Homo-oligomer: A and B are copies of this chain.
Amino acid sequence: MEKDYIKSQGLIGVTARVRRLNDRLMSTGRNVYKALNLDIEPNWHLILLLLEQNKKMAVTEISSTLKFSHPAVIKILKKMQEKDFLIGEKDPKDQRKQLFSLSEKAISLLPEYKEKWKLIEEIQKEYFVSEFLKALEKLESKLEETPIEEKVNEFINKK
């Protein structure tokens, strides 16, 4: 007993389930960071690793490579800067751009962080079996190719 109603309903609740999954992952992310004494917030690792490779990046470069909206990126960068993980400077060649790079603090903490992220990834692997990742990837590509809206419009016009 105590079945999951939404699971039993097929596709009618799939969006809600995906949200539920995200909420759960975010929440465990916070808990795990706390347990491991990692003083960072969600998605910071993406930016730290990106800047480790690319050294200096502007807001829109980051937002387009992560596929986040630029206001989302700005919010994250601001917080990271407040906590001294990042340094921001005006691009001398283009006064509109702000270039972000890792601070000394970030660089010195990174090795320890990377070890902990590796551990987390190891544990995640037990949950995200390859079938899920493959199916997710397939779905993402399909949605990219032909948005659901298009198919619906096709149907409407046919009618």
Measuring CB to CB, which residues of chain A are less than 8 angstroms from any residue of chain B?
4-7, 9-22, 24-26, 28-29, 31-32, 35-36, 42-43, 45-46, 49-50, 65-68, 117, 119-121, 123-129, 131-140, 142-143, 147-149, 151-153, 155-156
Contact = CB atoms under 8 A, between A and B. Distances in A.
A136 B132 contact: yes
B32 A143 contact: no
Contacts of A155: 119, 123
A101 B128 CA distance: 40
Contact of A15 (B22, B117, B131, B140): B22
Contacts of A65: 5
A32 B50 CA distance: 36
Contacts of A153: 35
Given A46-B12, A49-B12, A28 B135 contact: no
Given A132-B139, A156-B36, A66 B11 contact: no
A155 B120 CA distance: 10
A32 B30 CA distance: 34
Nearest to A137: B7
